[in-house]
Amino acid sequence: MQNKSILVVSENEQERTDLTQTLEKIGYDNILSAQGGGNAWAFLKSKKIDCVISSYEMEDMSGIALLKILRREESVADLPFFLTHSAFTKIKVIKAGQIGVTGLFVIPYNEEGMKDKLCRAIEKIKDPVVLQVEESLEKGIDLIEKQEFAQALEVFKSLVNQKENPEYYFNIGYIKTSQGLHSEAIEAFSKATQLDRLFVKAYEAMGRAYKALGDAQKSEECLQVAAEIYMDTDKLGSAEDILNEILEAGTNSLNVFNTLGVLHRKKGDVEQALRQYKKALKVHPDEPYIYYNIGRLYLDMKNTTKAKDYFQAALDKDHGFEEAKQVIKAIDLGLV
C-alpha cells in the first residue's frame, strides 16, 4: 500500500487531518491533501494519483462537481473516487451513483470497511460482468482491425443486447437506494457507469463497422446511440464529434440535427442550437417535438412571446401534447 497515492480533498482542515490519520492507521502513508475541489483538480492535472477521497459538500467546488469533471476526462475517467459525509440522504446517493462514484465513506469512518473498499478499488479488482464486457469489446475491436466486420458486428450485437446492461444496473441502484441499502446501491451504480463507458465504445465501433459494410442507416443509428450516451454523461465534445461525423457521411437526419440542437443548448450556445433545430424543421416540418425544443430555447433566452408561439405550434401539430399545454398555461399565468 505504501506506493499507492491517495488525494484527500476537503475545505475543512480538521476533516483532512482526521481522514489522513484514519488512512495511516489502515496502512496508507502516501497521502496528499487539497483544500477544496478547485485545488484538487489543479493537482490532478499535474500529478498521477491512485485514488481520490473527497468531502461531498464544499463551497468552492463540491465533491460532486469534482467527480463530474473527472468522469468527463478520458485520462482520469476510471480513477477511484470516494465521497465522505456524515449523513448520506437518498438523493445524495443517487446523484453520486449516477455520476459514477466508486464508493461512500460515512463519518465517523469504519476502518475495516474503508480498508476493504480502498483495496478493491485501488488494486482495480473488477466485477466479472464488467470484465466480460471488456473482453467482448476488445474481441470486437480486434475483428474490425482485421477487417472482419460481419463477425465483429455479431460480437457487438451480443454485447449490447445482453440482459445485464447499464440500464439494468441503474435500476438496481435506484431500488437499493429506496430500500436504504446505500452500499449495495453504489455498487450497482458503479457497474452501470463502468458499463456505460464500455457500451458507448461498442456502439461507436458498430457504427464504423456498418459504414465499412455500406449500411449507412445502421451506421447512423449506432453512432446516434453513442452520441446520446456521451451527452447523458456530459461528454459533450465527444458527442459533438460523433454527430459531425454522421453529418459528414451525407445524412440529412432529423435526429442528428435535433440532437445537435440539444447538445448546443446544454453548452449554452443558444444561437447554434437554434440553427440546428431549424435544420431539423426543414427535414421534418410536422414534428411537434422540434417546435417544443425551440420553445424551450426561447424560454432560456427570456423571450416568452417567441417561446409561446413555438409551444403553440407544437400543440397545433399534436393536440394531445400535454407538456406544451402546461408550459403555455405557465406563461399565461406569468410563472415563467
**pLDDT tens readout for residues 274-288:** 999 988 888 888 999
Among candidates 215, 262, 207, which has minimal Cα distance to 240? 262
The secondary structure of 26-70 as a DSSP string is TT--EEEEESSHHHHHHHHHHS--SEEEEES--SSS-HHHHHHHH
Q: How far apart are CA 222 and CA 200, in angstroms?
A: 9
Same domain, 151 and 116: no
Same domain, 133 and 174: yes
Q: Is 296 inside a domain boundary?
A: no
CATH number where 113 lies: 3.40.50.2300
Q: Which ranges of 100-215 would DSSP assign to H, the alpha helix?
A: 111-122, 128-145, 149-160, 166-178, 182-212
Number of domains in the chain: 2
Q: Is 294 inside a domain boundary?
A: no
Same domain, 85 and 154: no
- Who contacts 227 (Cβ-Cβ below 8 Å, separation ≥6)? 239, 242, 243, 246, 259
- Which contacts (CB < 8 Å, 24+ apart) does range 124-130 have? 126/194, 127/191, 127/194, 129/164, 129/191, 129/195, 130/191, 130/194, 130/195, 130/198
Which of 90, 122, 154 is where one domain is finished? Answer: 122
Q: Is 306 inside a domain boundary?
A: no
Cα separations (Å) of 43 from 1, 28, 33, 65, 194?
21, 19, 9, 15, 24
Among candidates 207, 206, 216, which has minimal Cα distance to 249? 216
Amino acid at 294: I
pLDDT the model gives residue 92: 94
pLDDT the model gives residue 2: 57
Q: Is 325 inside a domain boundary?
A: no
Same domain, 61 and 161: no
Which of 179, 214, 249 is where one domain is finished? Answer: 214
First to last CA, the chain: 55
pLDDT the model gives residue 125: 80
**pLDDT tens readout for residues 151-179:** 999 999 999 999 889 999 999 999 999 99
Q: Is 34 inside a domain boundary?
A: yes
Q: Is 331 inside a domain boundary?
A: no
pLDDT the model gives residue 282: 85
pLDDT the model gives residue 111: 94
β-sheet bridge partners, residue 34: 9
Same domain, 106 and 186: no
What domain range is 143 assigned to? 126-214
Which of 122, 138, 159 is where one domain is finished? Answer: 122
Mean pLDDT in order along the chain per 10 residues (336 residues): 86 95 94 94 91 95 94 90 95 94 95 94 88 95 96 95 92 95 94 94 96 93 93 89 86 80 89 90 88 93 94 94 94 89
Same domain, 79 and 18: yes
- Who contacts 10 (Cβ-Cβ below 8 Å, separation ≥6)? 16, 19, 35, 36, 54, 55, 58, 84
DSSP H or E segment with residue 89? none
Same domain, 51 and 92: yes
99 dihedral zone (left: phi>0; alpha: psi -120 to 50; beta)? alpha
- Who contacts 287 (Cβ-Cβ below 8 Å, separation ≥6)? 254, 280, 281, 317
CB of 311 within 8 A of CB of 295?
A: yes
Q: How far apart are CA 208 and CA 203, in angstroms?
A: 9
